[in-house]
Structure 1
Amino acid sequence: MHNRSASAGRSSRKPRSRVSKTQFDRRPRVSHAQALDEIPLSPIADVDTFDELGVSAKLSAELGRAGITKPFPIQIATLPDALAGRDVLGRAQTGSGKTLAFGLALLSRLDGGKARPKHPRAIVLVPTRELAMQVSDALTPLAKALGLWCRTVVGGMSFSKQSDALRRGVDLLIATPGRLSDHVRQGTCVLDEVAFTALDEADQMADMGFMPQVRAILDLTPVGQRMLFSATLDGDVQQLVTRYLHDPVTHSVQSAKASVTTMDHHVLLVSKEDKAAVVAEMAAREGRTIMFLRTKHHVDRLTAKLRSMGVRAGALHGGKTQGARNRVLGDFKEGSLPVLVATDVAARGIHVDGVSLVVHVDPPADSKAYLHRAGRTARAGESGTVVTVVTHQERRTVSRMTDQAGVSPTSTKVTPGDDDLVRITGARVPTGEPIIEQEQAKRPPRARHAGAGGYRGQGNRNRERFNPRRSRSDRNRDR
């Protein structure tokens, strides 16, 4: 049972869907010559429970304990095919329920088996550490309900602890490409028994330059069941689909452009002199707020400025240690830190419900970045507001970008204390009382694990085949 062939992986126990097959007869299939962002929307069956989709009673009960009872459209569309062992290509915006769409399928297919040491049976690849943690938080309780082991390997965390977990056996491994590449090179993880693979936010992995690692990882896995989920499906992502997915069933429940009806888009026209004060007043509002800037330096500078004015803000970017990032994101989730100031690198990893305002302090670089940032609000059916702060020189560029994103924002000229600023964002004047908290003592940097960079130690049969040609810049990315 441990040495599954590709065919064995596909012929393992398949939960039967209780949804009538005719409800899914019209599923669109896409030729690789067709532009993937032009695929039609999938018809969505009228389904009220996960049981109707073929999800096991144990998983349905665990979902119920978490207050999750009704499936989202992407789950209704993809689960019957995924549970039946088909390769699945799914497109949906962030916040649409993709994690459970592939997670429930993977766990159901893994049920009843057991992993050998160092040989995970299924992997989920994600672009950022934060997203890996969020996927783990969602799937680990479900895995425990089935007696399965779910573990995470990401950069910035102890390599040796991850190696120990892999040595004990992992059924479902959630990983960022860079750190999983390190484990493969060091022989602490072997991929030749991976029967099920899911790629989440594949377009972001392409944008971050992870495609060489992703392809190298997939080349080492048997041709088992593969699922790919992404908000957009173009360029490098289409190449992944062509090369690694076998006759995939394609499901799209949202347009590649903005289509969330509960999200309001605004452009706030400000002078250069007023911009800082307008941003500070928006940060002082009630409710969860995420503010995006282009660089780590600007994130740190704005965070410090806001805290000096009495706004509880925290910085999140790739230059922070993983422990610091976890603490900030945890405080943001809990509500003790209402304002998160972040770079685009962190955008895909911030999956927190209840974010009511997203502010583009620096306009995003392109329409894809706009949609990725905006996707932090109006999640899971909630409402939210997206605001882009625009100076006179930025008007034309922002107008082109929002057109490409399929967004028609309302433009309003505002100044500090303006009634329209308050109406749109709930802005308030900061208290002016600095936030002073005892910073945790900084720990001395830990020595890099011998396995994280070279080939020290015993040989690995995968090593000669694994060469994703990673540059120094690749190694320094947010993995």
Structure 2
Amino acid sequence: MTTFTELGLPAPLVDALAQQGVTEPFPIQAATLPHTLTGRDVLGRGRTGSGKTYGFVLPVLARLAAGPTRRRPGRPRALILAPTRELATQIEASILPLGKALGLKTTTIFGGVSAHPQITKLRDGVDIVVACPGRLADHMRSGEVKLDRIEITVLDEADHMADLGFLPEVRRILAATPERGQRLLFSATLDGGIDVLVKQFLHDPVLHSVDSAQSPVATMTHHVLHLEETHRLPVLIDLTAAPGRTLVFTRTKHRAKALTRKLVAQGVPAVELHGNLGQNARTRNLTAFSSGTARTLVATDIAARGIHVDDVALVIHADPPVEHKAYLHRSGRTARAGASGTVITLMTDAQVADVRALTRKAGIKPTTTRIDPAHPLLAELAPGERTFDTSPRRPVVDNRPSKVTASGAAPGAGRGRGRGKPSENRGGQAARANARSRRSGEREGTPPGGQSDRRAGGQRSRNQADAPRSTRTGNRSARSSAGGSRRGGAGSPERRRQSGR
């Protein structure tokens, strides 16, 4: 087995990796590092969980640490573009402990949160920016960041950025980087609009393909459960009440929210993740799932890529996805890095044709079984004692900003299936996390100013409510006097004329 040292990584970086428990390179890392470390443009293709993140993080860190230039305010040295906030946050989490050992500073830039902390960090100077295209473009237009000193540009999950319609913005961003800078493009598939980016911005790239999205995962088993529509919820409750982590996918944000409420109402500690949640709520819920406080995450396709949580034993397609690529990426949240996992698709009579076409295009041959909520197969797919939280505690609403980030989550903090009962208070904690999510005032695309205005208004209301009674009474009296003067108070001629009628 080739070592990181033999591949050319500097000793401080190898030592930092060892402290993170990483001692051997994955195949895609071993294949790409000899070229990325020498400055070549590289196309890396590999399915989720194949080690792509370290495949580009390691050469970025190694080359910046060895380079003669130093960071300058508003002019980062490396740029990593990602399609979602969660993916950007997890890339940063991979970089931080390694970058600290090399004296390199990193920050993330994405929407849904205030722009001011991002601007402050840019002005202080950072080496690496991990960004989503939209907010980065905003900072470029305002002049807070310039990309003329970028030495290495990385596009992660490039095909997903194409699916989300980010390519025009990505092209404008790449055009702002130095033409001869190194460019790395990593993706599960290299098709569609990706070819346009490759031809325009990469120079004589080397292609390395390891485990494409269509490659079967030997440690992943696929099942289709054919059931009645009325049995969908009871089956989901049974599967998610088993020990361990379960990730449940729905097609819409509304269904994710509704299903989470139903599971929590039945005593299953569950949280939701979808685009209607503000960033603080999304981070809290993902952290609850990562730490094991909530053992079930109900999500839309926002979690189909870039979400890495150790020991997800079960992925359930509560709603079968429309496209086969979505099926593969959703399923890729389990059986990662050699671990085993189970993927279940719930199918009604009306969905038979669609599910058959979906699995055929995905290259999957699942085991199909007609079941009801009492079928013994459920216990085989999700083994262990079913536990439910029946505490009467009411959810506590907390609108304070989150003090945790996804990078602070303990990836291996949860338990695998069958290792014992979850703590009895998890259901109440999950309910509280859910309540905070629903009450979060943040929405995607809301300008930071509008967010501040709403918070300020809420603070004024709370301050008034906390004021002494005499002060509030005096304020009402003052308003009454003012109103009386304007409309005709008790001593006004108008009031006297009215009283005499």
Identify the TM-score tier after normalising by the shorter chain.
0.7 to 0.9
Structure 1 residue 428 displacement after superposition: 6.1
Distance 1:436 1:290, change over 3 A: farther
- 2:282 and 2:386 map into 1 onto residues whose CA distance is 28
Greater fraction helix:
2
Residues 63-74 of structure 1 mapped to structure 2, 5 A cutoff: 63-74=17-28
**Could you say which residue in structure 1 is the equivalent of 2:38?**
84
- 1:218 and 1:203 map into 2 onto residues whose CA distance is 16
Tell which deviates more after alignment, 282-291 or 252-261. Answer: 252-261
Find out whether 1:236 has 2:193 as its counterpart.
yes
Structure 1 residue 451 displacement after superposition: 12
Deviations for 1:173-211, whole angstroms, at most 9, x for unmatched residues?
A: 000011111111111111111110001111111111111
Residues 35-434 of structure 1 mapped to structure 2, 5 A cutoff: 46-47=1-2, 49-112=3-66, 113-223=69-179, 224-426=181-383, 431=388, 433=390
**Could you say which residue in structure 2 is the equivalent of 1:448?**
447
SS at match of 1:93: coil
| Preserved contact between residue 181 and residue 213 of structure 1 (Cα < 8 Å) | yes
Deviations for 1:397-455, whole angstroms, at most 9, x for unmatched residues?
A: 11111111111111111111210121123376563726743221357669834699xxx
Structure 1 residue 280 displacement after superposition: 1.2
- 2:142 and 2:6 map into 1 onto residues whose CA distance is 44
- 1:443 and 1:244 map into 2 onto residues whose CA distance is 40
- 2:368 and 2:385 map into 1 onto residues whose CA distance is 20
- The size of the alignment, in residue pairs, is 406
- 1:376 and 1:334 map into 2 onto residues whose CA distance is 16
Structure 1 residue 393 displacement after superposition: 1.1
**Could you say which residue in structure 1 is the equivalent of 2:396?**
438
**Larger RCO (alpha carbons 8 Å, 6+ apart):** 1
SS at match of 1:349: coil
Structure 1 residue 256 displacement after superposition: 3.6
SS at match of 2:284: helix
Task: Point out where structure 1 has 5 or more consecutive residues left out of the alignment.
Answer: 1-45, 453-479
Distance 1:335 1:444, change over 3 A: closer
- 2:54 and 2:450 map into 1 onto residues whose CA distance is 33
| Preserved contact between residue 186 and residue 451 of structure 1 (Cα < 8 Å) | no
- 1:444 and 1:314 map into 2 onto residues whose CA distance is 17
| Preserved contact between residue 280 and residue 430 of structure 1 (Cα < 8 Å) | no
Indicate the percent of aligned positions where both proteins have the same amino acid.
Answer: 50
Distance 1:332 1:414, change over 3 A: same
| Preserved contact between residue 273 and residue 302 of structure 2 (Cα < 8 Å) | no
TM-score by length of 1: 0.82
SS at match of 1:111: helix
| Preserved contact between residue 321 and residue 327 of structure 2 (Cα < 8 Å) | yes
| Preserved contact between residue 421 and residue 427 of structure 1 (Cα < 8 Å) | no
- 1:242 and 1:401 map into 2 onto residues whose CA distance is 31
SS at match of 1:290: strand
Distance 1:65 1:395, change over 3 A: same
Structure 1 residue 255 displacement after superposition: 3.0
Tell which deviates more after alignment, 347-356 or 436-445. Answer: 436-445
Question: Counterpart of 1:423 in structure 2: which amino acid?
Answer: E
SS at match of 1:291: strand
TM-score by length of 2: 0.78
| Preserved contact between residue 28 and residue 51 of structure 2 (Cα < 8 Å) | yes
Question: Counterpart of 1:203 in structure 2: which amino acid?
Answer: D
- 2:319 and 2:383 map into 1 onto residues whose CA distance is 20
- 1:150 and 1:429 map into 2 onto residues whose CA distance is 43
- 1:370 and 1:222 map into 2 onto residues whose CA distance is 37
Larger-gyration structure (1/2): 2
Structure 1 residue 292 displacement after superposition: 0.2
- 2:375 and 2:14 map into 1 onto residues whose CA distance is 49
SS at match of 1:315: strand
SS at match of 2:24: coil
**Could you say which residue in structure 2 is the equivalent of 1:25?**
none
Residues 6-45 of structure 1 mapped to structure 2, 5 A cutoff: none
- 2:149 and 2:376 map into 1 onto residues whose CA distance is 61
